[in-house]
Amino acid sequence: MKLRTAIPQVKGLQHLVESMQLQSGLGKRYLLDMPMLYQAEEINRELDLVTRAYSILSGKKAGLISKIQTKLMQVRDIKGSVKNMKANLVLDDIELFEIKSFALVSDEILKLQNEFESTLMEIPDLNPMISILDPENNRIPSFYIYDSYSDELATVRKEIKELKAAIKADPETGDGQPLDDLLCQAEAIEADVRAQVCERLYPYATDLEKALNQIAHLDVIVAKALLAENLGFTRARLSDSTTEYKGMFHPQIKETLALSKRKFQAIDIALNQSVCFITGANMAGKTVILKTLALCQYLLQFGFFVPAQSARIALVDRILVSVGDDQSEQNGLSSFASEMVKINEMVEASIKKENVLILVDELARTTNPTEGRAIVNAVAEIFNENQTQSVITTHYSGLDSRCRKLRVKGLDKDFKSGEINKNNINDYMDYSLIEDDASSVPHEALRIAGILGINQQIIAKANKNLLKPDSIFCRENQSCEA
């Protein structure tokens, strides 16, 4: 999977990629075409590079990075010219100009990198190409078929100039078209010279291609390091068994909160090779936890640092997410049907014992609670049996007692009435997770609805309903007791 295809699958990823300070179109394309990495050594190799750039940023030579960025800004994508070169075609002046100016920038970046203790990114030396394209040794990014390529050309050009001057003085000198003949001659020599120049360049095509690639990669590495520095990301360690985050946060939400001078409460979470339920009141951030878990996993496997204080992450082959905010109507499926299609895919992956990370938000919430709870427990059982790393959030009570449960603390302190309203409820919410072995889940929906300022009639009537002997609430408790 390429990053390009992963972006639409996780919401936060798009935002992060857009906020990266990539300097060249080349770098942007390289980033979007990056494959998802599944091998620990590949990931570590990429992360090592980001770490190097990251440490340079906080060191004395940080200025060099911005110098390199300025140079990266001048880099143009010359893949077309490289392709023509590899096919041994004769290039035109514009293509030769592009190659020359790229080679010059590449050389400058190479020199800037030499000032680091060790080179960040190996770039082939393109000086042999530069000297072919710069016969007058000006080191200026400009190109034409210079006189110095061929004495013959220089002579003809001189003759043309003289003849033109003569014709201007006396138009009859131009009779018999001597000028056209000379122009033709000059053009033929230019074509020859161009072919020769290209012939001399062909052996370096591979070097050029490599340089192009490495410079694009360098752009990406620097942008990744800057992203990590700006947003407080950290390098995750790779784990063979369990995934564990300390101080995990969602970068986009944190940013939005920071704009209104509020803080995002980072959370700690540990997963193991089985199912894990997350319960908690409404507005307690359960969905955000799932989204952040998916985001972190993708970030790691595309060679990024992750938004957490520290993290140990197990690699997976696939990330399967069901967060019910996609447009299922377009496929002609009801929200329940489209959810079930997704769950089916997850369960099949689980049965095949694939190495996946499964994240499900409020499983079976769009059907009746009796059957819903039965579905939740069935799916959880399958994940448990097959030791599939999975997280399911739910509001249902009566969950399979063999499964691990985490609960968001929520509003568990005592508050004066009227102290909380819908504007400050987020400040009172405790988003941290605690292990929970109770079989029932928090019943705070009405309390939160009240805080949100919902019409009092609803709350009063709903509370009354709960007290009726045949209410779901009572039945639920009875069934649990039974």
Partner 1 sequence: MPFIKEIEKYKSLSIVGLEKNTGKTECLNYVLSRLSGSTKQIALTSIGVDGENTDIVTQTHKPEIEVYEGMIFVTSELHYHKKNLIAEVLDVSTQTTSLGRLVTARAKSSDKVMISGPANNAAIKDLISQMRNFDVDLTLVDGALSRKSLGSPAVTDAMILATGAALSANIPQLVYKTNYIYDLINLEAVEDELKECLLPIQKGIWAISDRDELVDLEIESVLLIEKAKDKLFTKGNRIFVNGAITDKFLNFLRVQKQIKEIEIIVRDFTRIFASPETYYAFIKRGGRIKVLQKTKLIAVCINPVSPDGYCLNSDELKQAMEEKLKLPVYDVRKLNKN
User: Which C-beta is closer to partner 1: that of 190 or that of 444?
Assistant: 190
Contact 120, 75 (CB under 8 A): no
Contact 314, 240 (CB under 8 A): yes
User: Which C-beta is closer to partner 1: that of 125 or that of 147?
Assistant: 147
User: Which C-beta is closer to partner 1: that of 164 or that of 312?
Assistant: 164
User: Which C-beta is closer to partner 1: that of 161 or that of 352?
Assistant: 161
Structure tokens at 300: 């790691």
Counting residues that bind partner 1 (by CB under 8 A) gives 17
Residues linked to residue 356 through DSSP beta bridges, in sequence order:
318
**Interacting residue with partner 1 among 52, 157, 250, 405 (CB under 8 A):** 157
Q: Is 98 a residue that touches partner 1 (CB under 8 A)?
A: yes
Binding mask 172-211 for partner 1 (x = CB under 8 A): -----------x----------------------------
- Integer Cα distance of 198 and 312 in angstroms: 52
Letter string b/e over residues 147-177, b meaning 16 or more CB atoms within 10 A of that residue's CB: eebbeebeebbeebeebeeeeeeeeeeeeee
User: Which C-beta is closer to partner 1: that of 141 or that of 178?
Assistant: 141
Structure tokens at 326: 């996609």
Residue 383 phi, psi dihedral angles, 5° rounding: -60, -40
Letter string b/e over residues 413-443, b meaning 16 or more CB atoms within 10 A of that residue's CB: eeeeeeebeeeeebeebbbbbeebeeeebbe
**Interacting residue with partner 1 among 70, 135, 144, 202 (CB under 8 A):** 144
Q: Which residue has the tokens 């000297």?
A: 131
Smallest CA-to-CA distance from 363 within 355, 374, 352 is with 374
Q: Is 92 a residue that touches partner 1 (CB under 8 A)?
A: yes
**Interacting residue with partner 1 among 58, 114, 142, 241 (CB under 8 A):** 142
Site residues for partner 1, 229-248, by CB under 8 A, read none
Smallest CA-to-CA distance from 45 within 376, 303, 369, 335 is with 303
**What amino acid is encoded at 450 in this protein?**
G
Least Å distance, CB 107 to partner 1, is 18
Q: Is 308 helix (H, G, I), strand (E, B) or coil?
A: coil
**Interacting residue with partner 1 among 32, 160, 425, 445 (CB under 8 A):** 160
Q: Is 143 a residue that touches partner 1 (CB under 8 A)?
A: yes
- Integer Cα distance of 304 and 380 in angstroms: 31
Q: Is 141 a residue that touches partner 1 (CB under 8 A)?
A: yes
Least Å distance, CB 26 to partner 1, is 11
Q: Is 145 a residue that touches partner 1 (CB under 8 A)?
A: yes
**Interacting residue with partner 1 among 161, 237, 262, 475 (CB under 8 A):** 161
| Binding interface with partner 1 (CB under 8 A) | 25, 76, 92-94, 97-98, 141-145, 157, 160-161, 164, 183
